[in-house]
Amino acid sequence: MRFYLGLITLLVGLDQFIKYLVRLYLNAGSHIELIPNLIHLTHQENRGISFSLLSDLPSMLRTPLLAGVSFIVVVGLCIYVFRNWGALVTGEKWGFSLIISGAVGNLIDRAFRQHVTDYMYFHFYETGFFVNNLADDLITIGFLIMLYHAFVAHNSRS
């Protein structure tokens, strides 16, 4: 379990460090092309959840609601993982660790900044898709690992 706690700590730290650098070096509206016509770095403050949902709520309601729900999800996941640690296979441990890392990274932003710092803008030439951050990617990758174990790996063990 120590390895996974260290992994979570490292990934949350990396997420927060990258967000710090983005806030420090990128002004709103500026960007740096990473892969032309596909990905560039930008600085965007997402006051809502995915795709800026709920960002129009008044901040007196939005901030405690989103931070509170995020906190409850993180605590619930941690309780579940702790109680079931012995029954989890390695891939599930990785999946949960990535999901918890991402959730904690975004929770820190919501609780202390009232927004999540996003910076990776995915687009195809002039067609924009979304802007996200490392925490979002960790949640997505962790979820995909969990799906794999729920369907593919589970069926191969049966």
Which residue numbers are catalytic?
Answer: 118, 136
Per this entry, what is the length of the chain? 158
List all residues 6 or more positions away from 59 whose beta carbon is below 8 Å from its beta carbon.
Answer: 47, 114
The b-or-e profile of 43-64 (16+ CB within 10 A means b, else e) is bbebbebeebeeeeeeeeebbe
